[in-house]
Amino acid sequence: MRTLIPYIVLLTAVIAAFANSMSGEYVLDDEVHLDGKEELLANFLWSPTQVFANNRGVAFFTFALDNAVFDDDRWGHHFTNIVIHWAVCCFGYWILVQILSNCQNAVLRRHALEISLCSTVIFAVHPLTTNVVTYMVQRMESLMALFCLLTIWSVIRLTHTGRTSFAVLAVVFCAVGMRSKEVMVVTPLLVLGFDYAYLARSMSALRRRAWLHIALWLTLLLNPAWAPLYTSIVSSTENARDRLPKTAYVVEDLSRWEYLRTQPEVVAKYLQLVFWPSELCLDRRWEVQDDPALIALWLSLTIAMILASLGMFLKAPEWGFPLLCFFVVLAPTSSFVPLADLYYEHRIYLPLYPVLAISVCVMYLFCAQMAKRYHWREESLRFARYLLFAAISATLCLITIQRNHVFQSPISLWRDCIAKNPRNDRAHGNLVSYMVESHDPRYRDEILHLAHRFVKISPENADSFATLGIAHYEREEFTQARDAFSRALELDASHFGALLHLGNIAFHASPASAVSFFESAVEQKPLHVAALNNLATALLASEQESDRAIQLLRKAIAIDGEYEDALMNLGQAYLQQRQFKKAQEQYKTVLDFAPSNEHARHLYYYCESQFR
């Protein structure tokens, strides 16, 4: 029973920190990959080939499993995220106990269980983990961390028992992790370093397990690596922007040098947040560093830290490995490979653990040295350690609980991003978009204020003027809205949202004049149901090409069978052609999923009366 106590403590810590995350809504990429995607995700559950056909198929499989098991998808996703985080903590704790129990330092050996538990509890409640645990879709990061730790766990068990089954498990875990997230690519290197530092302790002993390491490196064939990673991010961005003007994950045209010269400063920020987690922000909108002096400073400091870690690894592997581990895990996202954004805090999830572990070890060694010098009593020293540990854990837990509140809704999330960086143009655009979708009259004036600030921050950004246009459109200030959307088109002639809204404005004056705008919008996005519906409506209202209008509406309904506007308009088109039976079928479809639609009910009975 005593062996279970640490795991129960870890579970208690995780629940205390993340219990209030369960009611969080879908935000950002949650909407792209999870919200309303039940049928798509089901493919991963019932078609196993999909798991390894998709770059992150294992993660999507777990989301599909949530949908199958839980009635409330969001609750299920949050629950599973918490369970995965707890599992990461449990295996991290077990591995750390093995390391410290066999280390050369007597103080660390004597306090192995205590140090491991302190380190892991701090990790469990650390607010930097909220971007992975509370933000549902970033389960990919925690899954990758879990499979990485499971691979290391299997290798340790192999060395302790000599059973080949653990070698097979190590390869399986590593292979599955490769389809959780691309950063798993570092795992074979981490296992090699771990083996050298803590298990083999010599090159000759390491060579005896060469076959295992070769097998682990071969799992890289299952990792899509960087080109597909960049492609998948671009694809997610396009999907996310279907609903103008959300621009959370807009891919910047960053060169490798722009990305590389900015990352040392970003890594330093990550390290600062480990020890002082204030001003946490989901989307900080980090700018490219252009100051040569600062570039030289941060680059020099980072290179110095990496070289020091490498030197420590070569001289004292048991101390150097955790330090080097931090940089190795961050290397795929914080080096020369330009990703969708310069800075995201979920990238620090796994690197956070070794930094915390080595920090707690240093604290224990310092306390032991002070106790020896000043003859402190062991009981007093233990009490002081426990008190300090409790204070740190409680403080971090409270900050995490507060961060979870920020994730409760997209509006609170983007408010927080603006508070952390008032010049964050993307946050302004996204906040306006979510406020408009909420249809809350309390936001009426704030929407316009935020839109004007967006334009002021990004005067050459078509999205900023499109956002301003939406703000005026919602206030029925159509002249100002038209001017703003027209300016957006001047900056980007193919701006979909501006075309769609200009068509809507023109429709009020003359349906025929709206046709050209809707035509252009459909050219930009041929499968966008609103664009198809609006073009068909304009054609019908201007008595042009009614047959084509019917085809467009059928296409929209084929894409979204419950798109009420298209169904109603198709019924209207059939009414105009006096095809009452077909019109009645459309109204019946509407009533099947929207029985409160009295207009559809009236038209349904009207069509029925025409048969008599």
**pLDDT tens readout for residues 29-55:** 777 777 766 667 777 767 777 777 777
Instruction: Give the tens place of pLDDT for each residue, 161-186.
Output: 989 999 999 999 999 999 888 899 99
According to the model, what pLDDT value does residue 229 have?
42
With 50 as the cut, is the pLDDT of residue 341 above it? Answer: yes
Share of the chain above pLDDT 90, in %: 49
Nearest to 330 by CA among 264, 257, 234: 264
**Token match 């707690």: residue?**
360
- Give CA–CA dist 73/78, Å, rounded: 9
With 50 as the cut, is the pLDDT of residue 323 above it? Answer: yes
Which domain, by its residues, includes 250? 2-406
Last residue of a domain, one of 389, 406, 423: 406
Most confident of 195-209, 472-486, 562-576: 472-486
Contacts from 304-313 at CB under 8 Å and sequence distance 24+? 313/193, 313/197
Is residue 590 a part of any domain in this protein?
Answer: no
According to the model, what pLDDT value does residue 139 have?
92
Q: Are residues 344 and 458 in the same domain?
A: no
Averaged pLDDT for residues 355-384: 85
In contact, 32 and 239? CB cutoff 8 Å: yes
Average pLDDT, the chain: 86
pTM, to two decimals: 0.85
Is residue 377 a part of any domain in this protein?
Answer: yes
According to the model, what pLDDT value does residue 2 have?
62
Q: Are residues 131 and 144 in the same domain?
A: yes
Here the CATH number for the domain that contains residue 451 is 1.25.40.10
Instruction: Give the tens place of pLDDT for each residue, 513-549.
Output: 888 899 899 998 998 988 888 888 888 887 767 788 8
Q: Are residues 372 and 419 in the same domain?
A: no
pLDDT band at 224 (very low <50, low <70, confident <90, very high): low
Instruction: Give the tens place of pLDDT for each residue, 398-416.
Output: 999 999 999 998 999 999 9
Q: Could you tell me the CA-to-CA distances from 161 to 75, 156, 158, 174, 213 in Å, in that order? A: 40, 9, 5, 20, 18
Averaged pLDDT for residues 77-100: 96
Domain count for the chain, please give it. Answer: 2
Alpha-carbon torsion, ordered 597, 529, 66, 589, to 10 deg:
30
The answer to whether the bond into 264 is cis (omega within 30° of 0) is no
Q: Are residues 425 and 378 in the same domain?
A: no
Which residues have CB under 8 Å from 579's CB, separation 6+? none
According to the model, what pLDDT value does residue 238 have?
32
Nearest to 453 by CA among 480, 418, 478, 492: 418
Is residue 159 a part of any domain in this protein?
Answer: yes
Query: Can you say how many angstroms the Cα of residue 550 is from the centroid of all Cα atoms in its chain?
Result: 40
Q: Which helix (H) or strand (E) holds 497?
A: helix 496-509
With 70 as the cut, is the pLDDT of residue 249 above it? Answer: no
Q: Is residue 5 classed exposed, middle or buried when 0-12, 13-18 and 19+ CB atoms within 10 A define those classes?
A: exposed
Residue 197's SS3 state is: helix
Share of the chain above pLDDT 70, in %: 92
Instruction: Give the tens place of pLDDT for each residue, 276-291.
Output: 998 899 988 888 889 9
Last residue of a domain, one of 390, 406, 422: 406
According to the model, what pLDDT value does residue 207 have?
86
pLDDT band at 597 (very low <50, low <70, confident <90, very high): confident
According to the model, what pLDDT value does residue 374 have?
77
Q: Which residue has the higher pLDDT, 67 or 421?
A: 421
According to the model, what pLDDT value does residue 232 have?
37
- Give CA–CA dist 472/448, Å, rounded: 7
Averaged pLDDT for residues 439-455: 92
Q: Are residues 265 and 354 in the same domain?
A: yes
Averaged pLDDT for residues 93-111: 92
Residue 443 amino acid letter: Y
Is residue 597 a part of any domain in this protein?
Answer: no
With 90 as the cut, is the pLDDT of residue 17 above it? Answer: yes
pLDDT band at 557 (very low <50, low <70, confident <90, very high): confident
Is residue 610 a part of any domain in this protein?
Answer: no
Alpha-carbon torsion, ordered 516, 518, 521, 527, to 10 deg:
-140
Q: Are residues 240 and 289 in the same domain?
A: yes
Q: Which residue has the higher pLDDT, 226 or 160?
A: 160
In contact, 166 and 158? CB cutoff 8 Å: yes
Q: Are residues 466 and 504 in the same domain?
A: yes
Q: Which helix (H) or strand (E) holds 442?
A: none
Q: Are residues 151 and 299 in the same domain?
A: yes
Is residue 149 a part of any domain in this protein?
Answer: yes
Q: Are residues 343 and 444 in the same domain?
A: no
According to the model, what pLDDT value does residue 253 have?
67
Give alpha helix (H) positions in 287-406.
292-315, 317-330, 349-374, 378-406
Residue 306's SS3 state is: helix
Last residue of a domain, one of 406, 437, 466: 406
274: phi then psi, degrees, rounded to nearest 5: -60, -45
Is residue 429 a part of any domain in this protein?
Answer: yes
pLDDT band at 247 (very low <50, low <70, confident <90, very high): very low
According to the model, what pLDDT value does residue 415 have?
94
Q: Are residues 316 and 417 in the same domain?
A: no
Is residue 465 a part of any domain in this protein?
Answer: yes
Q: Are residues 354 and 448 in the same domain?
A: no
Listed range (175-184, 245-254, 477-486, 499-508) with the worst mean pLDDT: 245-254
Q: Could you tell me the CA-to-CA distances from 543 to 549, 551, 575 in Å, in that order? A: 10, 15, 13
- Give CA–CA dist 578/580, Å, rounded: 5
pLDDT band at 71 (very low <50, low <70, confident <90, very high): confident
pLDDT band at 1 (very low <50, low <70, confident <90, very high): low
According to the model, what pLDDT value does residue 239 have?
33
Task: Give percent helix, percent strand, percent coil of the chain, each to the nearest 5.
Answer: 80, 0, 20
Q: Are residues 398 and 466 in the same domain?
A: no
